[in-house]
């Protein structure tokens, strides 16, 4: 990315007090806001933004999405080349702000002739369990699952959990 864009991102970070980190193909801005106290926002606070011009970055996008409310975290999906992948996720501090963003910015003309799409982000968290005998009934599976006494979620374990 050229230096003027880097300077713009640094200025945005300085202005807002938010941090920024790039990991796993996404650049995270914020999360949580500098004065945030308490748990992360509940479900229903995140939106999906699509059809973002590939040469547009947080310095232009964050001020636009702040019109709807306080942003908890802005995640811009990135290519290794430094361009964005054309979509992002914005998590607001309240569900009302997320709904306001959809109302204000869905089909918004972000550049002449270029319109973004904004909708509720779908929660794709699912638990898959393998090696279940083919003859086991649904009720038996539920009964076995109820026997779980403890579990541990390890973030470095690529989506696996450990049950006892």
The mean pLDDT value of the chain amounts to: 87
Prediction pTM value: 0.74
Top pLDDT among 125 and 46 is at 46
pLDDT tens per residue across span 22-49: 888 999 999 888 889 989 999 899 999 9
Task: Please tell me the predicted confidence (pLDDT) of residue 2.
Answer: 56
Q: Which domains does the chain have, with CATH numbers?
A: 3-120 (3.30.70.330)
Q: How far apart are CA 75 and CA 69, in angstroms?
A: 16
Concatenated DSSP letters of 101-121: HHHHHTT-EEETTEE-EEEEP
Q: At residue 162, does pLDDT exceed 60?
A: no
Q: At residue 161, does pLDDT exceed 60?
A: no
pLDDT tens per residue across span 50-87: 999 999 999 999 999 999 999 999 999 999 888 999 99
Whether 64 and 34 have beta carbons less than 8 Å apart is answered as no
């Amino acid at each position: 990315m050229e230096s003027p864009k880097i300077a713009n991102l640094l200025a945005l970070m300085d202005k807002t007090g938010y941090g920024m980190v790039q990991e796993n193909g996404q650049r995270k801005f914020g999360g949580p806001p500098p004065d945030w106290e308490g748990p992360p926002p509940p479900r229903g606070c995140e939106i999906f933004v699509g059809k973002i011009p590939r040469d547009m970055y947080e310095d232009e996008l964050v001020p636009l999405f702040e019109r709807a409310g306080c942003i908890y975290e802005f995640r811009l999906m990135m290519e290794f080349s430094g361009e964005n992948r054309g979509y992002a996720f914005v998590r607001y501090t309240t569900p009302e702000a997320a709904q306001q963003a959809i109302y204000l910015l869905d089909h918004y003309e972000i550049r002449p002739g270029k319109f973004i799409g904004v909708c509720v982000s779908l929660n794709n968290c699912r638990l898959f369990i393998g090696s279940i005998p083919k003859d086991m009934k649904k009720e038996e599976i539920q009964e076995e699952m109820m026997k779980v006494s403890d579990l541990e979620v390890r973030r470095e374990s690529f989506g696996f959990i450990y049950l006892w």
